[in-house]
Amino acid sequence: MLNIGILALQGDFEKHGAVIERLGHRPLFVRRAEELRGLVGLILPGGESTTFLHLIEKLQLRQPLIDFAGRWPVFGTCAGLIVLARSNDNLPFPPFGLIDLEVTRNAYGRQINSFIARVELKSQLMTRQIEAVFIRAPKIVSMGREVVPYAWLGEEVVMAGNNRILAATFHPELTSDTTIHQFFIDAYILPAISLSER
């Protein structure tokens, strides 16, 4: 059983926790820096990115989160992706710059323009279609050379990662499909554990 953290400042952190439990692991909700100890991975959920960054700064979590990401994998969904990206538009604080992505917020429109679509997941571990929920979703507009695309909506990349950060523009916790969380565990957390034990 793995201890997987979920940043629980706002957004769908409880739903992410339910998915982690379904996969047989222990979700631990993180609100303070000391709660990062003992985790082997962390999820930054969706929410409102401006509020998210304000809370991170207010609670002095920026550097502890960046330090954690230097040792263990982090998965950002929707607003979590925005926080992790290299650049974004009109944010009150700079994003973390942990993955070389340029992102546009609310790229598909307002809440009323939210939608569900089939996306194509392709990796060395699997190739399949999954259902994805897009709510005021950001859009990846450019990627650095070290970033690997993993999922597409038509021609648009909607999930990508580097060696330690995974980021998705959609909400995988809002469907019954556990594929994306399992991918985070299999492709990111388990290899990181193996490296730490050498």
Q: Which of the residues are catalytic?
A: 78, 171, 173
According to DSSP, residue 190 is labeled H
Contact at 8 Å (CB) between 187 and 91? no
**Which residue is it, tokens 């996969």?**
23
According to DSSP, residue 73 is labeled -
Number of neighbouring beta carbons within 10 Å of residue 11: 24
The beta-strand segments (E) located in 1-72 are 3-7, 26-30, 41-44
